[in-house]
């Protein structure tokens, strides 16, 4: 009979409950993984183009996939909106129309969970209108991503996660570089193994160790005179000369 295992209750090392005002806090410190936001190469190029060429504020929306590192923005759309030099406003009617358009294209409108916009030449700190806009987007979504960009290459990307009741501010955003698949890695390793070979070296004796042929052997090395040498040269110049001295 196995011994019954006793499960000890978890005891917090420290708690803070000294407030004299009505306050709600977490009893334990939780470690929540900070997500990253990435864009497909095409989406990133589209964002760069919009920010670089639009002189007023402009907003766009995007489809998002959940990934191991966080979120990937896969598609972008520019809905109808009210814009000025200082703000942009996308209302619920524009969102509904875009959702229908996405659905008719065979995509999932429930993935419309990213809102980006340009601050043109201003800083990327959110305005009062930006805060109102993201609040309306988060209201009916499990999470939402807001990105603010400007012409100087600055960005502020925040993730509003209702599931963990957390706002992740200024998260890392970057272009997504897909990893090689297992099959691609296997094929690449096989190609390197078959096409890369070690060099093969052959030994060749130094010139002074090699025997001289009778045509290259100097007459002086055979103890012959200068006259004999001249005669030898005349002989080898004769096309009918068959060799010998």
Q: Report d(CA 123, CA 57) in Å as an integer.
A: 12
Over the stretch 61-81, which tens digit does the pLDDT of each residue have?
999 999 999 999 999 999 999
Q: Summarize pLDDT for 43-56 with one digit per residue, the tens.
A: 999 999 999 999 99
pLDDT in tens, 123-143: 999 999 999 999 999 998 999
Strand 155-161 and strand 143-149: pairing?
A: antiparallel
Report if pTM > 0.75: no
Higher pLDDT, 25 or 149: 149
Residue 25 has pLDDT above 70, yes or no: no
- Can you list the domains of the chain with their CATH numbers? 36-177 (3.40.140.10), 208-237 (no CATH)
Choose between 109 and 199: higher pLDDT: 109
Residue 24 — very low, low, confident or very high, per pLDDT cuts 50/70/90? low
Nearest CA-CA partner of 163 in 39, 35, 72? 35
Q: What's the confidence (pLDDT) of residue 149? A: 97
Averaged pLDDT for residues 94-108: 95
Q: Measured between alpha carbons, how far is 137 from 144 in angstroms, rounded to an integer?
A: 7
Beta-sheet pairing, 36-39 with 166-168: unpaired
Mean pLDDT computed over every residue of the chain:
81
Residues contacting residue 31 through CB under 8 Å, at least 6 positions apart: none
């Amino acid at each position: 009979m196995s011994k019954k295992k006793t499960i000890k209750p978890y005891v917090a090392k420290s708690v803070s409950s000294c407030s004299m005002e009505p306050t709600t806090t977490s009893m334990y410190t939780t470690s929540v993984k900070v997500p990253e936001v990435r864009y497909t190469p095409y989406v990133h190029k589209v964002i760069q183009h919009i920010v670089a060429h639009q002189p007023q504020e402009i907003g766009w929306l995007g489809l998002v996939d959940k990934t191991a590192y966080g979120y990937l923005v896969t598609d972008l759309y520019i809905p109808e909106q009210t814009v000025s030099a200082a703000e942009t406003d996308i209302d619920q009617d524009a969102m509904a129309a875009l959702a229908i358009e996405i659905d008719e294209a065979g995509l999932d409108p429930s993935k419309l969970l990213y809102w980006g916009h340009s601050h043109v030449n201003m800083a990327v700190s959110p305005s009062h209108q930006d805060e109102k806009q993201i609040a309306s987007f988060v209201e009916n979504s499990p999470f939402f991503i807001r990105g603010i960009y400007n012409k100087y290459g600055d960005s502020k990307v925040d993730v509003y996660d209702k599931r963990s009741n957390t706002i992740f501010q200024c998260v890392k955003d970057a272009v997504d570089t897909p990893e090689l698949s297992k099959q691609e890695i296997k094929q690449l390793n096989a190609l390197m193994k078959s096409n890369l070979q070690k060099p093969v070296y052959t030994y060749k004796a130094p010139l002074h160790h090699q025997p001289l042929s009778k045509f290259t052997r100097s007459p002086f090395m055979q103890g012959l005179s200068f006259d004999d040498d001249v005669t030898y040269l005349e002989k080898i110049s004769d096309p009918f000369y068959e060799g010998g001295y």
